[in-house]
């Protein structure tokens, strides 16, 4: 297996997600219930937002390969992530992240107060679809990708062009995160996809996408909130490679703690 990027921290060192010492109760006694699947990149956005803000929440893992019948009735969607905030359901990963950021201002802000920085964050979020499309092309498909060979030069150039927007922003704002020295909504929105493309390209296409992204990936890996929400790399990589898919967990029972189905 071709794996070029090796994170500096091992999964075993990670504190359990939502551990009481790292989290604070949301202000005004608000209750957050988070419905998730630990391997879904959209759900990881919300997990990251809650963890970065240190907001205590109840976590309910949904097995997407065997969805409970109450789920859609209760949340009004068949997809994860969703949250209930004081009993009201909210869906769509980015909307949820913005909601918790706006609502819980006592916790660190994910959207910078500074107007120019905020503009930079929003521009990167808008860049997301281009990055995703370049990533899927790199893998030779979409959520499932049969490619087992290196992508063409043109496809690689497409990916590198999409990544260039990210690394330019890292440099411009002094890093190590996309817009400055602490993670923002741009990291929350994009990092779950960047990390999955990097891993899948490495294990399925023998292609090292890290290049200029190495320092960024290391900066993510140094964050408790990241390590607690991203699966153990080798096991996740083996599962992605076995199924040629980034959503194999829609069809096979797997979890954040055990990414490889039994
Ligand atoms: N636009 C949604 C996408 C969520 C989504 O597609 N989640 C996938 C898991 S990664 C899902 O719930 N799949 C289950 C299904 O399709 O039934 C968001 O951003 O929250």
Q: For residue range 164-218, what is the model confidence (pLDDT) as tens digits?
A: 999 999 999 999 999 999 999 999 999 999 999 999 999 998 888 878 899 999 9
CA atoms within 13 A on the CB side of 174: 4
Q: What is the pLDDT of residue 22?
A: 61
Question: Is residue 80 within 6 Å of ligand 1 at its C-beta?
Answer: yes
Q: What is the pLDDT of residue 109?
A: 96
Domain range 11-103, CATH class: alpha beta
72 C-alpha to ligand 1 centroid (Å) = 13
| Both structure tokens of 203 | 């294990």
Q: Look at residue 21 and give its three-state secondary structure.
A: coil
Q: Whose CA is nearest to atom 14 of ligand 1?
A: 79
Q: Look at residue 175 and give its three-state secondary structure.
A: coil
Question: Is residue 40 within 6 Å of ligand 1 at its C-beta?
Answer: yes
Query: What CA–CA distance (Å, rounded) separates 137 from 156?
Result: 9
Cα 68 versus chain centre, distance: 24
Q: What is the location of CATH 1.20.1050.10 in the chain?
A: 115-250
259 confidence band (pLDDT: 50, 70, 90): very high
Q: What is the pLDDT of residue 16?
A: 39
The fold for domain 115-250 equals: Glutathione S-transferase Yfyf (Class Pi); Chain A, domain 2 (1.20.1050)
Q: Which atom of ligand 1 is nearest to the CA of 64?
A: 14
Q: What is the pLDDT of residue 27?
A: 81
Instruction: Supply the pTM of this predicted model.
Output: 0.93
Q: What is the pLDDT of residue 29?
A: 84
pLDDT (tens digit per residue) in 229-248: 999 999 999 999 999 999 99
Q: What is the pLDDT of residue 28?
A: 77
114 C-alpha to ligand 1 centroid (Å) = 32
pLDDT (tens digit per residue) in 130-176: 999 999 999 998 999 876 778 999 999 999 999 999 999 999 999 99
Q: What is the pLDDT of residue 212?
A: 83
Mean predicted confidence (pLDDT) in 64-72: 96
The answer to whether 199 and 139 are in contact (CB under 8 A) is no
Q: What is the location of CATH 3.40.30.10 in the chain?
A: 11-103
């Amino acid at each position: 297996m071709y794996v070029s990027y090796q994170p500096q921290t091992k999964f075993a060192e990670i504190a359990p997600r939502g551990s009481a010492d790292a989290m604070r109760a949301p202000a005004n006694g608000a209750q957050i219930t988070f419905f998730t699947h630990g391997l879904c990149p959209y759900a990881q956005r919300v997990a990251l937002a809650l963890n970065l803000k240190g907001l205590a929440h109840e976590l309910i893992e949904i097995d997407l390969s065997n969805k409970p019948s109450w789920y859609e009735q209760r949340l009004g969607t068949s997809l994860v992530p969703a949250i209930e905030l004081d009993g009201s359901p909210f869906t769509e990963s980015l909307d949820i992240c913005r909601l918790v950021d706006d609502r819980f201002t006592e916790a660190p802000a994910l959207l910078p107060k500074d107007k120019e920085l905020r503009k930079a964050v929003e521009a990167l979020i808008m860049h997301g679809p281009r990055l995703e499309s370049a990533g899927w092309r790199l893998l030779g498909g979409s959520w499932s990708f049969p490619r087992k060979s290196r992508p063409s030069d043109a496809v690689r150039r497409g990916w590198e062009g999409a990544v260039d927007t990210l690394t330019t922003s890292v440099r411009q704002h002094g890093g190590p995160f996309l817009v400055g020295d602490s993670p923002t909504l741009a990291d929350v929105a994009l990092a779950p996809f960047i990390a999955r493309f990097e891993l899948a390209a490495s294990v399925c296409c023998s292609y090292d996408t890290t290049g200029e992204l190495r320092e960024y990936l290391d900066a993510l890996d140094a964050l408790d909130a990241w390590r607690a929400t991203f699966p153990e790399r080798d096991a996740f990589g083996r599962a992605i490679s076995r199924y040629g898919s980034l959503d194999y967990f829609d069809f096979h029972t797997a979890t954040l703690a055990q990414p490889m189905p039994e």
